[in-house]
Amino acid sequence: MASLITCPHCGVRPKEEFAVRGDASRGRPEPMDSDETWHDYVYVRVNPRGRTFEHWHHVAGCRRFLVVERDTATHEVYSVVDAAEFARRVER
């Protein structure tokens, strides 16, 4: 795993400042969506070998949720954006 993460708010920081929440590629379903949709959202993971988007929480910094794009096999980090910014991009 890369040792440094470039936080869009705090700059280059050691990765120990962050907590990983997990997969960010899937949007949260609507409250009244089917049980199956919710099951897939809560329990099922694509678990890719390669590029993935994840929610990382900058616990020891700005305390913002970020979306980190990285590779699960090589551990290379490609991009880091604020989760709100990421959500706006997905909506568009």
Footprint of other proteins (CB under 8 A): 1, 3, 15-16, 19-23, 35-36, 39-40, 42-49, 52, 54, 72-75
Cβ distance to other proteins smaller for residue 45 or 88: 45
Separation CA 70–CA 1 (nearest Å): 9
Give the residue with the Cβ less far from other proteins, 5 or 86.
Answer: 5
Q: d(Cα 30, Cα 46) in Å, to the nearest integer?
A: 20
69: nearest Cα among 85, 84, 50: 50
**CA–CA distance, 55 with 84 (Å, rounded to integer):** 11
Question: 40 vs 82, which CB is nearer to other proteins?
Answer: 40
- Closest distance between other proteins and the C-beta of residue 1, in Å? 5
